[in-house]
């Protein structure tokens, strides 16, 4: 869900303290005070002078009616949910899951340990978005465990040769090499960064979340890509790595994907398809 920056600034002093102070406190306070004075004082005096209606009794009736109206709105209507939606604090839920048919300029994936004759989820994801140069994929970040490093390098060399044969450029970087070039300079070439995790961090979802968060920030600074242009695949890796990627992508407009497999009677995979997931809530770290 798209958050409203104006409402965020008014409601949250950490977003824009000046807007919160001037509008959220002073502005709304003046408006509510003016309405209260007009309704309870001015109208009360007019009713008392014109019709002899007791002013205090009128004020009590108005306050009581408004209180009942607020309670009814909260407990017997969907007003509370609508307010949360306006403020961007929607309940935790999966917004949609659908078959992935489009391609993305950026891809974050976790390579699994390769097995002879079988494509890993990361390989399937890259090939889907690349489509031998017909897809949008131009940048790929691979978060690799040490045990999957050799098989991943083998696949990347095969992919690079395929790109050369098809007259497309393909550059493979490790985590110590220079930054990715900006999107305006790469043309149709494919750029892949291979990042090898420290074995001590493989089962730390917080580390993976921070790493993926950093990739989105770095991608925007180096290439100009925004979050909606990058999709993250959480199929491969350990369960903690999956959890870290999902946590990082609870930010609005960070799409996820996973490989959905169908199995035969003997446990073999008979069919696979990529699914796209959009999450509709935001998680803040507990300090």
The count of domains in the chain is 2
pLDDT at 72: 78
> Which residues constitute the domain of residue 259?
94-279
Judge whether 179 lies within some domain.
Answer: yes
Judge whether 219 lies within some domain.
Answer: yes
Domain match, 124 and 228 both: yes
DSSP 118-182: B--HHHHHHHHHHGGGTSS--EEEEEE-GGGHHHHHHHHHHHHHHHHHTT--EEEEETTSPPPPP
Domain match, 77 and 142 both: no
Domain match, 67 and 152 both: no
* Per-range mean pLDDT, top range of 23-32, 87-96, 144-153: 144-153
Domain match, 149 and 182 both: yes
Say if pTM beats, i.e. exceeds, 0.85.
Answer: no
CATH number at residue 250: 3.40.50
Judge whether 230 lies within some domain.
Answer: yes
**Lowest pLDDT segment from 14-18, 69-73, 221-225, 258-262:** 14-18
Judge whether 284 lies within some domain.
Answer: no
* Per-range mean pLDDT, top range of 47-51, 69-73, 209-213: 209-213
Give the strands of the sheet with 170-174, arranged side by side: 94-99, 269-279, 256-263, 230-233, 106-109, 139-144, 190-196, 170-174
Asked if 229 contacts 183 with a C-beta cutoff of 8 angstroms, the reply is no
Asked if 155 contacts 171 with a C-beta cutoff of 8 angstroms, the reply is no
Residue 113 has pLDDT above 90, yes or no: no
Helices 239-248 and 205-223 pack at an angle, to 10 degrees, of 50
Give how far the C-alpha of residue 168 lies from the chain's centroid of Cα atoms, to the nearest Å: 31
100/85 Cα distance (integer angstroms): 27
pLDDT at 90: 45
Instruction: Tell me the pLDDT band of 91, cut-offs 50, 70 and 90.
Output: very low
pLDDT at 19: 63
Domain match, 73 and 214 both: no
pLDDT at 53: 87
Residue 6 has pLDDT above 70, yes or no: no
Longest dimension (CA), the chain: 94
Judge whether 176 lies within some domain.
Answer: yes
């Amino acid at each position: 869900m798209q958050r409203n920056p104006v409402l965020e600034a008014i409601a949250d002093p950490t977003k824009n303290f000046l807007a919160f102070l001037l509008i959220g406190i002073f502005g709304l306070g003046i408006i509510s005070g003016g309405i209260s004075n007009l309704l309870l004082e001015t109208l009360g005096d007019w009713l008392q002078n014109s019709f002899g209606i007791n002013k205090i009794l009128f004020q009590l009736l108005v306050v009581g009616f408004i209180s009942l109206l607020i309670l009814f709105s909260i407990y017997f209507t969907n007003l509370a949910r609508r307010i949360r939606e306006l403020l961007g604090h929607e309940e935790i839920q999966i917004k949609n899951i659908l078959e992935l048919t489009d391609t993305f300029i950026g891809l974050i994936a976790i390579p699994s340990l390769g097995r002879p004759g079988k494509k890993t989820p990361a390989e399937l994801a890259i090939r889907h978005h690349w489509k031998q140069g017909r897809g949008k994929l131009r940048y790929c970040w691979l978060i690799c465990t040490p045990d999957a490093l050799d098989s991943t390098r083998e696949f990347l060399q095969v992919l690079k040769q395929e790109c050369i044969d098809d007259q497309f450029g393909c550059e493979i970087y490790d985590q110590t090499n220079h930054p990715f070039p900006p999107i305006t300079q790469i043309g149709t070439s494919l750029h892949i960064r291979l990042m090898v995790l420290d074995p001590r961090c493989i089962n730390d979802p917080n580390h993976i979340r921070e790493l993926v968060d950093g990739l989105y920030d770095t991608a925007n600074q180096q290439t100009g890509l925004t979050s909606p242009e990058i999709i993250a695949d959480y199929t491969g890796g350990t369960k903690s790595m999956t959890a870290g990627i999902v946590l990082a992508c609870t930010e609005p407009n960070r799409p996820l994907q996973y490989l959905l497999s169908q199995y035969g009677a003997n446990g073999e995979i008979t069919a696979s398809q990529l699914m796209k997931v959009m999450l509709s809530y935001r998680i803040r770290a507990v300090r």
